[in-house]
Amino acid sequence: MLTEKLYTAHQNNTPPNILVIGDLMLDHYLFGSASRLSPEAPVPIVNAKKESKIIGGAANVASNLIALGAKVYLGGVVGNDAFAEDVKDLLTIKGISSQLIIKDESRVTTVKTRVIVGNHHIVRIDKEDTHNIAAELEESFFAHLSPYIQKADVVVLSDYNKGLLTPSLSLRIIKHCQSIGKRTLVDPKGLDYSKYEGAFLIKPNRKELAEAAKAERISTNEDLVKAAHVILDATKATYLIVTLSEAGIAIITKEHFKILPVAATEVYDVTGAGDTVIATLAYCLALGLDIEEAATIANHAASIVIKHIGSATTNIEEIIASLKTD
Tens digit of each residue's pLDDT (9 = 90 or more) over 305-314: 766 555 577 7
Residue 326 above 70 pLDDT?
no
Per-residue pLDDT at 268 exceeds 70: no
Bridge partners for 26 per DSSP: 55, 111
Question: In this predicted structure, what is the pLDDT of residue 309?
Answer: 52
Using CA atoms, how far apart are residues 66 and 233, in angstroms rounded to an integer? 34
Q: How far apart, in whole angstroms, are the C-alpha atoms of residue 76 and residue 78?
A: 7
- Return the pLDDT at 17: 95
Q: What is the pLDDT of residues 52-67, one digit of tens each?
A: 999 999 999 999 999 9
Q: pLDDT tens digits for 78-113?
A: 999 999 999 999 999 999 988 999 999 999 999 999
In the chain, DSSP assigns E strands to 17-22, 24-33, 47-57, 71-78, 101-103, 110-117, 120-127, 154-158, 183-187, 201-202, 239-243, 249-252, 257-260
pLDDT value, residue 139: 96
Q: Binning pLDDT at 50, 70 and 90, where does residue 272 land?
A: low
What is the phi/psi pair of residue 158, to 5°? -105, 95
The string of pLDDT tens digits covering residues 5-48 is: 876 877 877 899 999 999 999 999 999 999 899 999 998 999 99
Nearest to 196 by CA among 214, 182, 210, 184: 184
| The predicted structure's pLDDT at residue 302 | 84
pLDDT, tens digit, for every residue of 187-234?
999 999 999 999 999 999 999 999 999 988 898 999 999 999 999 999
Report the b/e string of 68-92 with b at 16+ CB within 10 A: bebbbbbbbbbbeeebbebbbebbe
First to last CA, the chain: 12
pLDDT at 248 over 90: no
**Gap between the Cα atoms of 46 and 7, Å rounded:** 45
Identified catalytic residue from 153, 159, 275, 326: 275
pLDDT at 269: 42
- Looking at residue 266, its pLDDT comes to 53
Q: Phi first, then psi: what are they for 189, rounded to 5°?
A: -150, 150
Domains of the chain as residue ranges with CATH: 2-25+56-108+129-325 (3.40.1190.20)
Helix (H, G, I), strand (E, B) or coil at 12: helix
275 catalytic per annotation: yes
The tens digit of pLDDT for each residue in 150-197 reads: 999 999 999 999 999 999 999 999 999 999 999 999 999 999 999 999
User: Is 267 a residue whose pLDDT tops 50?
Assistant: no
Strands 17-22 and 71-78: parallel
Say how far apart CA 166 and CA 294 lie, in whole Å: 28
* pLDDT score of 247: 79
Let me know if 121 is exposed, middle or buried by CB neighbors in 10 A (0-12, 13-18, 19+): middle
How high is the pLDDT of residue 65? 96
